[in-house]
Amino acid sequence: MPTRNSPCFRARFDETQADILAAQALRHKCFRGGEGLDTDPFDDMCRHILVEDVATEKLVACFRLMRFRNGTSIDDSYSAQFYDLSALHAYASPMIEVGRFCVDPDACDNADILRVAWGALTRYVDQEQIGLMFGCSSFQGTDEAQYLDTFAFLRDHHIAPERWLPRVKAPNVFRFTQRLRRTPDTKRALQGLPPLLRTYLMMGGWVSGHAVVDHDLNTLHVFTGVEIASIPAERARLLRAVVPPA
C-alpha cells in the first residue's frame, strides 16, 4: 500500500481519523442513504482500505479488514454477532473478515474501481498468508420471496462444507436449505446474486445454509467464506495480474 493498478484509481490503507470518517460517510450513503456516518465498534479494530480517484482524490469505494491469527478468536468478529461460528474455531491458518464493502453509486467505471479494490485485497492476502476470507454478503431488502431461486441455487451448489458450516444464532433467519423445495430457475437465480457474492462464488466461495434478516441495514445476508487454497488457478492468476509490483 498504496497500490496503483489503474491510471484512474488507487487503493491505500487509512492513515488518519479523517480517512475513517470519509469511509463511514460513504458507507452511510451506500447502505442507509443520504448524509451521515455509518459507524460501529468494529471500526476501531479494523484496517480500512480506501479506493480514490487519482485526479480528484475523491473516495469512490472502501471496505475494512479484521485479521485473526486463526479461528480461536473468530467470535470477536462482526459476523459472529449473527452466526454461530464455533465450527471455525478449529481453523488453523490466518483469516480475515472483509466487511462494509461499498462503491459510490455516483462513481463511473465501476469495473475498474472493483479491479483496484480486489488488487489491494489480493496483495494483502498474499503478504499476510491468509487462509480464509469471510464476511456477510447482503441482499437488498428483507423479503426473501424475491430471492427464492437464488437461495435454492445456493442450496444446491454453494453451501459450506459441513466441517465449517455456520449454525443459527440470530433470532430472525430464513432457513433456505430446510424450507425450500423448489428447483431453481438458473437465470433468475444468477440475476438475484449480489455482485460481491457473485465474485466470491467465482472464487470457490461457500455460504451458510440460512440467511439473517437484518432490519437495521434492511438486508438479508449470508455468511460467506473463501478458502484461498481453493480459488481456481485461472481466477487466482487474474486476481494477481491486477496487483502491481511491490
In the chain the domains, ranked by start, together with CATH numbers, are: 9-241 (3.40.630.30)
β-pairing, 83-84 with 59-68? unpaired
Cβ atoms 242, 5 nearer than 8 A? yes
Per-residue pLDDT reduced to its tens digit, 38-72: 999 999 999 999 999 999 999 999 999 999 999 99
Per-residue pLDDT reduced to its tens digit, 60-117: 999 999 999 999 999 999 999 999 999 999 999 999 999 999 999 999 878 899 999 9
- How many DSSP H helices and E strands does the chain contain? 7, 11
Mean pLDDT score of the chain: 94
CA dist 7 and 117 (Å) reads 14
- Reported confidence tier of residue 246, pLDDT bands at 50, 70, 90: low
pLDDT of residue 110: 82
DSSP string covering 98-156: EEEEEE-TT-S-HHHHHHHHHHHHHHHHHHHT--EEEEEEEEESS-GGGGHHHHHHHHH
Q: C-alpha dihedral over 108, 111, 117, 118, to 10 degrees?
A: 180
Q: Given the C-alpha cell 475494512, which residue does it identify?
A: 64
pLDDT of residue 224: 98
Q: Please name the residues in contact with 98: beta carbons below 8 A apart, sequence gap of 6 or more.
A: 63, 64, 65, 121, 133, 134, 135
Q: Given the C-alpha cell 491510471, which residue does it identify?
A: 7
Find residue 150's DSSP bridge partners: none
pLDDT of residue 157: 97
